[in-house]
Amino acid sequence: QASQEELKAAYRRLCMLYHPDKHRDPELKTQAERLFNLVHQAYEVLSDPQTRAIYDIYGRRGLEMEGWEVVERKRTAAEIREEFERLQREREERRLQQRTNPKGTISVGIDATDLFDRYDEEYEDVPGSSFPQIEINKMHISQSIEAPLTATDTAILSGNLSTQNGNGGGSINLALRRVTSAKGWGELEFGAGDLHGPLFGLKIFRNLTPRCFITTNCALQFSSRGVRPGLTTVLARNLDKNTMGYLQWRWGIQSAMNTSIVRDTKTSHFTVALQLGIPHSFMMVSYQHKFQDEDQTRVKGSLKAGFFGTIVEYGAERKISRHSVLGATVSVGVPQGVSLKIKLNRASQTYFFPVHLTDQLLPSAVFYATVGPLVIYFAMHRLVIKPYLRAQKERELEKQRENTASDILQKKQEAEAAVRLMQESVRRIIEAEEARMGLIIVNAWYGKFVNDNSRKNEKVKVIDVTVPLQCLVKDSKLILTEASKAGLPGFYDPCVGEEKSLKVLYQFRGVLHQVMSADNEALRIPKQ
């Protein structure tokens, strides 16, 4: 937001500081010339309204973007932003032909009822029944990929295979989706499988108003018994900023009418639903609490009651790496029994493991289903996940340091040269501030500080920035904006990729004060 007058004032101040003619020492003169040229390049960019608009919005990469030579010089910042987005769109469209969006699910059902139900009398005389039998009784695999054909048309190819107790089948589907306007899209679907005959479907999405949309899905399933038509319509409306209401009608083999309200906020997710239908009618209430921690921990619980019985579920999920989320849910129901469901989301792939523990309501099954996953998770997290993530972070930091080593070395040399060139100006600033009992920077450090005992074995990485900060003092004030302090004159990044802070010990009106500021945090001293 700096005005042209402020830019000129800063440019003049830095020119006076780095002007080669002010330094007689040949080495200082050479360093001053290099820094003076950098300041001049920066001023050339910022004093031109067009290049400044490009730099303010997109940084250096915007200035290096191909295609600006054809842009008119009189365009405003908004027009330049639009032009940049157009150039980016053209580049994205070239990449579009090679892009897919793979999604997959692997589900493995495990029957572990022998662990808890094996104490019945029928097992007493069965040879070899001393060990419980755990077996896989069902599997499901599905995969889909998207192939963009044009900016508005997409082809989606999907397939699935299922098996249960030795019997199973599969199907393959092809869908063609076209975005007709900003308000809607349509999709044609064709499918075939070994259990069912050909499938033809049509799906339409449409925004009716800014707060309301409708989705309709029609399908014709051909089989040896004839044609089975199906129709599903969903009407949704924004009730407020965080709440959606849904009405669903389903007509066909399993006809039903469902209404639900979903409220999703930054800290919670609440759903209530009621369904009337054939063969099942039910009511469901669920709540999920979202913790605002680094691992994005979520705790959830739900109650579902209907003609099929009653089911209570509770569980949690947590981010275990950058692209992976692990979750576990315990399901207790009548007459379903007790089950443990483990789910791992890895990017766009989902791995699901439902483990059926018992057909009865046994407290021991509920206890082990609850405590077992917790114990295993914390043991794995401490012994495997945490060391792996720490090693991975170290490798990434090391790679980042290697890639930026030459650049950082250059920045360090520039910063050290700037500090030497600032000495005379800083001496005059200190004399003026002492005369008026103003602001004097006693000591200042920038980099990685270690204050936590749990991190005491980590290495402190800081640089002394007392001189550069004192040089920025004007009229007994030091004002730093919300930006990384590594870009300030006389500063450089001493620990690439790590969290940094600025620690300042200063004197104002003869009294000592100390302040600590995060790297991207604005700072104003003396404090108001």
d(CA 471, CA 489): 9
pLDDT in tens, 12-31: 888 888 888 877 788 888 88
pLDDT in tens, 140-186: 999 999 888 888 899 999 999 999 888 888 999 999 999 998 899 99
d(CA 504, CA 469): 9
Percent of the chain with pLDDT over 70: 89
Helix residue ranges per DSSP H, 130-202: none
pLDDT band at 275 (very low <50, low <70, confident <90, very high): very high
pLDDT band at 405 (very low <50, low <70, confident <90, very high): confident
Tokens matching residue 14: 């830095």
User: Is the CB of residue 190 less than 8 Å from the CB of residue 171?
Assistant: no
User: Is the CB of residue 241 less than 8 Å from the CB of residue 250?
Assistant: no
Tokens matching residue 504: 């300042």
Instruction: Report whether pLDDT(64) > 90.
Output: no
Instruction: Report whether pLDDT(418) > 60.
Output: yes
User: Is the CB of residue 408 less than 8 Å from the CB of residue 492?
Assistant: yes
- Amino acid letter, 73: R
**287: β partners:** 270, 301
Residue ranges of domains in the chain, CATH in brackets:
2-64+73-91 (1.10.287.110), 101-116+133-252 (2.40.160.40), 405-523 (no CATH)
**pTM of the complete model beyond 0.75:** no
Q: What's the first-to-final CA gap in the chain, in angstroms?
A: 22
Instruction: Report whether pLDDT(46) > 80.
Output: yes
